[in-house]
Amino acid sequence: MAISALAFTFLNAFVKSLGTFSVYQIVFFRSAGSLVFTIPFLLKNKISLLGNKRGLLVLRSVFGLTSMTLFFLSLKYIPMGTAVSLRYIAPIFAAFFALLFLKENVKLLQWLFFAIAFAGVLVLKGLDTELKIQGILFALVSAVFAGLVYITIRKIGDKDHPVVVVNYFMVISTVIGGLLSINNWTMPVGKQWFILLSLGIFGYFAQLYMTKAMQVGETNQVAPLKYLEVIFTIVIGLFWFQEVYTLWSLAGILLIILGLTLNISIKKPK
């Protein structure tokens, strides 16, 4: 999950730098680029592209596509670190969904720590008046769908290879992203081609290692480790994009990280 968080960080930075492109075109390039890795891997290792849990694979892909699109949209309105912080309260939703659908145990103390993290969201939303409400809403709804992604992957379990799971996501995202970007297509020039094509590389490794992590570990224990992406992204945002964070923004982000970190401390693998 730590490797996944680092890869997602670079993906976030490149998406942020492509602000003049349609979000659907970014989704298209990010997804199509990953297919260069996933399809040859599956063919070489004689792994069925269709998979076993096909209904769940499609469902995971739709959840993932929705979450990714909304998150990319949020980057157009609010700083990267804030967007990532809001999106990655997803473990709260993941724990709730896991309790309902997977019957995983969630300790009472964990809910207290999740409440601390959610308090950080309230601080960001209510006290940082410089944040645009559109960006906050996009990131929050993205988090809900990310939580659904986590439990869907857990439901798939080891019945499908991680690359099969990622490949489904990329195929569906490429088709839908491509169709929706036709009317607002912008022709890349110069280094924009390199940035757009690199999205698939970082996205592939980020998704692959996230999927592996979710398949081998309990949702409540593994998912919170994605908060590392918040730290990585804030640092890059400050130095690359000269993003400004108010004291209230930093306080909210710290509360989110604190809540998720405390959750990890009591949820040790058996």
> How high is the pLDDT of residue 220?
62
Q: How far is residue 118 from each of residues 1, 26, 75, 256, 258, measured CA to CA in Å?
A: 22, 29, 20, 7, 10
Report how far residue 67's alpha carbon sits from residue 145's, in angstroms, rounded to the nearest whole number. 5
Residue 78's φ and ψ, nearest 5 degrees, are -130, 160
Spell out the alpha helix ranges (H) of the chain.
2-17, 23-44, 54-74, 80-87, 90-97, 108-127, 133-156, 162-181, 191-216, 219-222, 228-240, 247-266
User: Can you tell me which residue has the tokens 């730590």?
Assistant: 2
Residue 161's φ and ψ, nearest 5 degrees, are -65, 145
How many other C-beta atoms lie within 10 A of the C-beta of residue 34?
Answer: 27
Which amino acid makes up residue 232?
F
Q: How far is residue 61 from each of residues 13, 49, 145, 167, 196, measured CA to CA in Å?
A: 23, 14, 11, 9, 21
- Residue 236 · residue 9 · CB < 8 Å: yes
- Does residue 190 come out as left (phi exceeding 0), alpha (psi in the -120 to 50 range) or beta? left
Q: Give residue 50's domain range.
A: 2-266
- Residue 156 · residue 212 · CB < 8 Å: no
User: Can you tell me which residue has the tokens 């110069």?
Assistant: 190
> How high is the pLDDT of residue 16?
92
Nearest by Cα to 168 from 145, 152, 144? 152
- Residue 154 · residue 102 · CB < 8 Å: yes
Report how far residue 230's alpha carbon sits from residue 70's, in angstroms, rounded to the nearest whole number. 17
pTM score:
0.86
> How high is the pLDDT of residue 270?
44
Nearest by Cα to 163 from 30, 62, 47? 47
Instruction: Read off the DSSP letter of residue 100.
Output: I
Return the structure tokens found at 196: 């757009």
- Residue 166 · residue 68 · CB < 8 Å: no
> How high is the pLDDT of residue 260?
78
pLDDT 10s per residue in the chain (270 long)?
A: 888 888 989 999 999 999 889 999 999 999 999 999 999 999 999 999 999 999 999 999 999 999 999 999 999 998 888 888 888 788 788 888 888 887 777 788 888 988 898 888 888 876 666 778 889 899 999 999 999 998 998 889 888 998 899 899 999 999 999 999 999 999 999 899 999 999 999 988 887 787 788 777 776 667 667 677 788 888 898 889 888 888 888 898 899 888 877 877 776 544
Domain tally, the chain: 1
